[in-house]
Amino acid sequence: MKSGLPGRIYNDMLNDIIREAYPVGGKLPPERELVDHYQASRFSIREAIARLAQSGFVQTHPQSGTYVRDFNREGSVETLVQVLRTKRIIDQQTLESLLKFRFVTETEAAAAAALRIQADDIAHLDANLERKKRHLKDVAVLAECDYDFHRTIITISGDMISRLVFQSFKPVYAFFSEFFYSIDGAPKMSLDLNMKLLKALRLRDDEASRKAMGNVLKSAERKVYEAIKSGKSGMVRLS
């Protein structure tokens, strides 16, 4: 959330854009109308619009006005997070793309990590799962442990590009981790599967580690789809 008057205007206009009060390709109201509507100075309006432009939601054309961009196609990971937080809706194609990215990247990372893992890596993952076990009812801690567990495995794999992409993906990852861990039964299921994965890594068995990571991700995917389609989670639904 942005602070101050420009920040409050930014958040209000952002919500209107995401909820399609201002449709993609549409023009924002003239500056003078926004000044009257928000009872704000021109500086505050311009600052809010500059933030919207920086976030990838609008584009200003000199002598013409400010227009809403097709942020679903042209936006960044940050844009996607903003949309998810506001609408609590994700289209099925985007969700499937996110899940496919994780599966392809992380199963290969697990196999590579099994061949490179060291004693201090195992100790770190052990400590991670012990913390997770102690906080099975704390969604925030579970999400934090989950990200660290998977990031650590990718780091151990030695694939620098996968690590950088995964880290840039963190805001979306955090959003869905918190969603996942709010589902009944998900925390215990995840812990059990993570422990099986760590066992395979400890044995330095690359094929078993690839399979175990696949089980972690596919089981989570099934849980997410079940919760979304049943509407029991109250957080995210498919459009």
pLDDT at 20 over 80: yes
Res 235: pLDDT: 52
Is 10 inside any structural domain? Answer: yes
- The tokens describing 238, both together, are 């498919």
* Range 206-218 average pLDDT: 98
More confident residue, 73 or 163: 163
Neighbouring C-beta atoms of residue 64, cutoff 10 Å: 8
Is 215 within the bounds of a domain? yes
Whether 123 is covered by a domain: the verdict is yes
More confident residue, 236 or 231: 231
Flag whether pLDDT at 95 surpasses 90. Answer: no
Q: Does a structural domain hold residue 60?
A: yes
Spatial contact of 229 and 236, defined as CB atoms under 8 Å apart: no
Contact 122, 182 (CB under 8 A): no
179 and 223 within one domain: yes
CB count in 10 Å sphere of residue 96:
13
Mean pLDDT of all residues in the chain?
90
Asked whether residue 155 falls in the same domain as residue 43, the answer is no
Share of the chain above pLDDT 90, in %: 68
Report the DSSP pairing between strands 58-61 and 65-68.
Answer: antiparallel
Residues 62 and 95 in one domain: no
| 94 and 71 assigned to the same domain | no
- Tell me how far apart the terminal alpha carbons of the chain are, to the nearest angstrom: 25
Q: What's 202's domain CATH number?
A: 1.20.120.530
Task: Grade residue 232 by pLDDT with cuts at 50, 70 and 90.
Answer: low
Same structural domain for residues 208 and 107? yes
Q: How far is CA 117 from CA 67, 99, 108, 111, 206, in A?
A: 51, 25, 14, 10, 11
Domain termination residue (choose one: 46, 75, 104): 75
Q: What total of structural domains would you count in the chain?
A: 2
Position 174 scores a pLDDT of 82
The stretch 101-120 carries a mean pLDDT of 96
User: Would the pLDDT of 1 be above 50?
Assistant: no
The reply to whether 174 and 108 lie within a common domain is: yes
What is the model's pLDDT at position 236?
55
C-alpha closest to that of 102 among 156, 176, 158: 176
Whether 161 and 228 share a structural domain: yes
Q: Show which of 33, 51, 75 is a domain's final residue.
A: 75
Residue 82 lies in a domain: no
| Alpha-carbon distance values, 123 to 38, 111, 117, 129, 149 (Å) | 55, 18, 10, 10, 12
Domain assignment of residue 92, given as a range: 88-238
Give me the mean pLDDT over the 226-232 stretch: 75
Provide the residue count of the chain. 239
Domain-located, residue 81: no
